[in-house]
Amino acid sequence: MQPHDLLHRHVLTLPAEPNAVRLARETAEQAWTEWGISLRHPTIGPALLILSELVTNSVRHAAALSPQVTVIYATGPGRLAVAVHDRHPYRPPLYAALSGAGTGGLATVMELTIGLDGTADVQADADRGGKSIWVTLPL
């Protein structure tokens, strides 16, 4: 999804604390509803789980270097995207999580993403001191 393809976009920055997961999910549900996306759409349940896993990973693994986590929600023609940004420099090899070695949240994210014919990408910050993990799913 290219920036010019976005119909809607919402950015939320939260403290990198456990309650960020709940707040990120609630905000996603509210934004998607406001944008006319039914919470009963078959992509929404997996999208919420993906979002939860990505925020959880930032809270668990990046909070020491990144006291905040930023969540981006976006839609474009027939697509739904979520991104989670933190200021930890480690960029996980997303597709390696599917090799059988991964059993945690990232493996779940990738299984759901691939199962829905979606895409996932890790984008480093310009200074390489942080990253965003983008997941785009068909609607």
**CATH number of the domain that 27 lies in?**
3.30.565.10
pLDDT at 1 > cutoff 70:
no
pLDDT digits (tens, 9 = 90+) for 17-72: 999 999 999 999 999 999 999 999 999 999 999 999 999 999 999 999 999 999 99
- Number of structural domains (the chain) is 1
Q: How far apart are CA 76 and CA 98, in angstroms?
A: 27
Distance separating alpha carbons of residues 22 and 98, to the nearest angstrom: 26
* Its pTM surpasses 0.85: yes
- Asked if residue 14 lies in contact with residue 71, where contact means CB atoms within 8 angstroms, the answer is yes
Whole-angstrom Cα distance, residue 60 to residue 130? 15
Q: Give me the domain span that covers residue 113.
A: 3-138
**Residue 138, phi then psi, degrees to nearest 5:** -75, 145
What mean pLDDT value characterizes the chain?
92
The three-class DSSP label of residue 29 is helix
Cα separations in angstroms, 113 against 3, 48, 64, 98: 20, 12, 28, 11
